[in-house]
Structure 1
Amino acid sequence: MSHSRLTVLAGPTAVGKGTVSTYIRDNYPEVWLSVSATTRSPRAGEEEGVHYYFVSAGEFESLVSDGQMLEWAVVHGRNRYGTLRRTVEEAMSDGRSVLLEIDLQGARQVKETMPDANFVFLAPPSWDEMVRRLVGRGTESVEEQQRRLETAKLELAAESEFDHTVINDDVRGAAAKLVSLMGIEPRED
């Protein structure tokens, strides 16, 4: 195979990973976007099986202990997130281009088990813009925002661990760069 069928997208909190991934899901049907499992509660507008699989802590623990997770992590010291191994392997065996939108800890785990994957770091145009996005989305308390920004400082320092960096200064443009790195022709609007 000339390029990996698996691309891992990671980056700091509030950089827009979910927004870029949603744009790709809506505009590039040839890309199979993995749906993560999480122990956190749904945010307004999130749908089961579309945005996440929402599971209890006990269910998540069973998936981990049974070896059913490709990667998993505790994010921001609170909730668990992870990728179901079976769904990714099935999509890849079907010849689909697979995109995992995950956190840094998860990306490191995938690198251990699937080092030939394509690892892409989504970076903010600036620190101030990332802070503006986090505060502007209004989904976290001030305390949670501070916790996420402390985590983001560590996440930004990991950029060199990735094969490529895409700066998310424009969602459409960032998505086009990402799919191009996946070997897919970006759309002309």
Structure 2
Amino acid sequence: MPFRPEDQQDRPGYFFILSGPSGVGKNTLLGIVLQGLSGVYYMPSATTRPMRPGESQLNPYVFVSKDEFEEMIERGQFLEWKKIHTNDYYGTHLPSIRYAIENGYDIITDMDVLGCADAVAAFPEHICTIFIMPPSLDELSNRLYSRDADQRNIQKRLERVELEMKYQDKYDFVVVNDNLDESAQQLREIIQEVRTSKNFKGKREVPQ
């Protein structure tokens, strides 16, 4: 990703990670927050899932074929990767993270709870973790049914919610996405607070 020299910090870069159940609104929140937040770069994950209406390359993912993804696995290009939900791959590009942290650039992405555990283990001094909570499980279920006609996919996502929710106490911050504008403002304030700290220390407990 192209980094601007004026965004370089006089400290190592911070890596902000958002996690939360599928359908909780992580990408929507990120889109709102990044519009009014300069100097923080969105790092899209790579995925093999099909592009949805309104999406494009790099927004919100780097869309690749399964052959391309598996080749990247063999080359050790991922910090973490998973095959989830509909047997599609998702992964986080390791060289991009290293470059950003080593050169003082702040980056942000969304990641599942197990991937986040891998990231914290790899970069414990440079990561800020934020868990996005739904206002209720009923509301989360309604959101999923409104965006996906395949009930099997929805059921797989709902079955994973229980696992994901167990990790919330391991995160540095928790944001309940009830009111979108208020949640986006809370998320923005968290990011700004951490960025102004040269020595941010979160809970630093690696999720197990």
Where on the TM-score scale, by shorter chain, does this alignment land: which range? 0.7 to 0.9
Separation (CA, whole Å) in 1 of partners of 2:176 and 2:12: 22
Unaligned residue ranges in structure 2 (runs of 5+): 1-9, 195-208
Residue 124 of structure 1: aligned partner: 134
Separation (CA, whole Å) in 2 of partners of 1:175 and 1:71: 27
User: What are the superposed Cα offsets for residues 60-117 of structure 1, whole Å, 9 maximum, x if unpaired?
Assistant: 1121221211221122251111111222333334433211211112111101101221
Separation (CA, whole Å) in 1 of partners of 2:29 and 2:187: 9
Question: Is 2:185 the partner of 1:176?
Answer: yes
Superposition deviation, residue 29 in structure 1: 3.2
Q: Is the 8 A contact 1:4 1:118 kept in 2?
A: no
Counterpart of 1:31, as a letter, is V
Superposition deviation, residue 42 in structure 1: 0.5
User: What are the superposed Cα offsets for residues 136-181 of structure 1, whole Å, 9 maximum, x if unpaired?
Assistant: 22x3401111111011121112212212111111222222222222
User: What are the superposed Cα offsets for residues 4-23 of structure 1, whole Å, 9 maximum, x if unpaired?
Assistant: 61111101111111111111
Residue 81 of structure 1: aligned partner: 90
Distance 1:3 1:127, change over 3 A: farther
Q: Is the 8 A contact 2:26 2:110 kept in 1?
A: yes
Coordinate RMSD, CA, aligned: 2.1
Residue 66 of structure 2: aligned partner: 57
TM-score, normalised relative to structure 1: 0.88
Counterpart of 1:122, as a letter, is I
| Equivalent of residue 136 in structure 1, options 135, 138, 146 | 146
User: In the comparison of the two structures, how many residue pairs are matched?
Assistant: 184
Q: Which secondary structure state, in structure 1, belongs to the residue aligned with residue 56 of structure 2?
A: coil
Residue 14 of structure 1: aligned partner: 23
TM-score, normalised relative to structure 2: 0.80
Counterpart of 2:171, as a letter, is F
Unaligned residue ranges in structure 1 (runs of 5+): none
Question: Is 2:78 the partner of 1:69?
Answer: yes
Counterpart of 2:64, as a letter, is V
Q: Which secondary structure state, in structure 2, belongs to the residue aligned with residue 53 of structure 1?
A: strand
